[in-house]
């Protein structure tokens, strides 16, 4: 018997990942995602939410096991049929996706419309050598196409081939080849894409800075919300949370509980941020700003610098003493929906300038902002005082009806109102340099928007009744998918800003 020939050029892969060539992946042949995609779809959050009414019916009927088994079997069959009918391919010009069991859906995405391709690897993807692919297009709303369980080499090949196709279409043949005589397509075939640009790492955040981001960020509120949810769950299980609070503790025990519990609370919030944002790296390659992070769930976000519409520097109150700020870069990737954006937290001034120099070169160096006119201070103090007066009046009524301790809160509100008004005024600022507008606002958390004039689609001067009385107005700069405001400037200055943007 003649020996069977060995298969050459195929990468060894487990049964759940389709076999692919180790040197090049031919994506022109229609292919399915991994068979594990059917299992992922069964346990997806959307499918679980759809099964919640079934679970309620099962509990009320008393036949929990039977009803849940039937619902699970139906969900599994639907997931397998959906996987069998989902086929995708990429021929170099168009990305094809055919799916649907009862209603067939054939989607065709020309490569010219593709904004970028993102890879996402949660823990389940990492365990089985898979990745989720998100394709976003210019003018789409959110993700135009998503493949949830693709072999990692196929996902990387898809992203690489799409980016090569974009570079080939963007660059003329002479630029792609470096040959002044051009390219003879009849003799040599299609024009090869230009070589990929080298990757430059702009920022890499260490774990210590990520810990600080969690302690000063929304993770602190998330931990507190989880504690409230846990107490609510105890009530549902028949445990009265009030009984927990009736435990007789001495003063020393309460002080010890506070001294231990509060640091643990913040430490847990910091560790959550470290796990979520682990190894956060911002790099640039050609015209692509890429941010990757994650330990259990690896995520990747890409913004093309040629489509960047604005940047935002957010100075949180707790981060100002450390000289840190968060940077957000947005592009017009999805009109009519959320803009495509990347967030890089806890950067110092030099790191922010380093990133801005690559995505918005004209924005660096950042100019000194001009403060708002004195009339804006009076307006801010009046607004803060009126708000404090309304809050103090409500608290005083509450004190009459319940406890007099609310009078202390009313007094504090009367003091904080004008103080917040003064901080709001000091947070206002605007400057224009090299056809880039820098606008800042905010009392406790200050946000500076950086907008190139070339990205502004329209401008409007807006003045309320109270602004007109003080000779003030605001300018609204409309971008592709958002708007930026220049607040409380003199009316004549607002007219000059709007005229400069629109001419």
Separation of alpha carbons 10 and 3, rounded Å: 19
Q: Which fold has domain 36-178+190-198?
A: PH-domain like (2.30.29)
DSSP 257: H
Helix H, strand E, coil C: the string for 307-374 is HEEEEEEEECCCCHHHCCEEEEEEECCCCCCCCEEEEEEEECHHHHHHHHHHHCHHHCCCCCCEECCH
**Residues β-bridged to residue 430:** 370, 439
Closest CA to 267 of 212, 322, 306: 212
Q: Is the pLDDT of residue 284 over 60?
A: yes
pTM of the model: 0.72
Among 226-230, 252-256, 305-309, 367-371, top mean pLDDT goes to: 367-371
For residue 445, what are the contacts with CB-CB under 8 A and spacing of at least 6? 314, 315, 316, 317
Average of per-residue pLDDT values in the chain: 80
Is residue 439 a contact partner of residue 484, using CB atoms and an 8 Å limit? yes
Domain boundaries, the chain: 36-178+190-198, 206-276, 281-371+428-502, 374-425
Model pLDDT, residue 23: 42
Closest CA to 84 of 103, 99, 105, 96: 99
Higher-pLDDT residue of 221 and 279 is: 279
Per residue in 122-135, pLDDT (tens digit) is 888 888 888 888 88
Report whether the peptide linkage leading into residue 365 is cis, meaning its omega lies within 30 degrees of zero: yes
Per residue in 45-92, pLDDT (tens digit) is 666 666 666 666 666 666 667 766 777 777 778 778 888 888 999 988
Q: Is the pLDDT of residue 186 over 80?
A: no
Model pLDDT, residue 485: 93
Higher-pLDDT residue of 458 and 227 is: 458
């Amino acid at each position: 018997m003649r020996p069977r020939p060995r298969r050459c050029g195929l990468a060894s892969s487990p049964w759940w990942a389709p076999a692919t060539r180790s040197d090049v992946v031919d994506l022109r042949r229609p292919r399915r995602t991994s068979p594990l995609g059917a299992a992922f779809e069964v346990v997806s959050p959307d499918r679980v939410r759809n099964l919640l009414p079934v679970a309620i019916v099962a509990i009320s009927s008393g036949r929990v096991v039977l009803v849940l088994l039937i619902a699970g079997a139906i969900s599994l069959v639907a997931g397998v049929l959906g996987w069998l009918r989902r086929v995708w391919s990429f021929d170099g010009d168009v990305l094809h996706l055919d799916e649907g069991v009862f209603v067939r859906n054939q989607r065709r995405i020309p490569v010219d419309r593709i904004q970028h391709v993102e890879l996402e690897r949660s823990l389940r993807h990492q365990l089985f050598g898979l990745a989720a692919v998100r394709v976003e297009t210019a003018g789409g709303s959110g993700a135009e196409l998503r493949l949830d369980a693709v072999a990692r080499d196929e996902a990387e090949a898809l992203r690489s081939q799409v980016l090569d196709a974009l570079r080939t279409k963007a660059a003329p043949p002479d630029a792609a080849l470096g040959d002044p005589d051009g390219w003879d397509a009849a003799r040599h075939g299609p024009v090869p894409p230009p070589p990929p640009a080298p990757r430059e790492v702009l920022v890499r955040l260490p774990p210590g800075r990520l810990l600080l981001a969690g302690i000063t960020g929304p993770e602190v509120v998330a931990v507190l919300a989880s504690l409230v949810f846990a107490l609510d769950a105890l009530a549902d299980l028949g445990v009265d949370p009030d009984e927990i609070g009736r435990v007789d503790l001495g003063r020393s025990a309460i002080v010890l509980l506070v001294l231990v519990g509060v640091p643990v609370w913040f430490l847990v919030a910091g560790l959550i941020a470290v796990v979520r944002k682990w190894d956060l790296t911002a790099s640039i390659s050609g015209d692509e700003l890429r941010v990757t992070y994650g330990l259990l769930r690896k995520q990747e976000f890409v913004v093309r610098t040629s489509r960047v519409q604005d940047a935002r520097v957010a100075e949180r109150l707790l981060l100002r003493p450390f000289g840190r700020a968060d940077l957000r870069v947005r592009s017009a990737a999805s009109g009519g929906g959320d803009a495509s954006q990347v967030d890089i937290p806890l950067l110092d001034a030099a790191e922010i300038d380093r990133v801005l120099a690559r995505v918005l070169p004209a924005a660096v160096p950042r100019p000194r902002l001009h403060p708002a006119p004195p009339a804006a201070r009076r307006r801010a103090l009046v607004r803060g005082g009126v708000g404090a007066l309304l809050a103090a009046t409500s608290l005083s009524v509450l004190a009459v009806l319940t406890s007099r301790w609310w009078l202390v809160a009313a007094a504090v509100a009367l003091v904080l109102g004008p103080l917040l008004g003064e901080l709001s005024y000091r947070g206002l600022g605007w400057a224009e340099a090299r056809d880039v507008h820098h606008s800042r606002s905010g009392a406790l958390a200050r946000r500076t928007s950086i907008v190139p004039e070339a990205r502004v689609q329209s401008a409007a001067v807006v003045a309320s009744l109270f602004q007109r009385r003080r000779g003030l107005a605001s300018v609204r700069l409309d971008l592709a998918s958002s708007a930026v405001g220049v607040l409380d400037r003199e009316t004549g200055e607002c007219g000059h800003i709007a005229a400069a943007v629109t001419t």
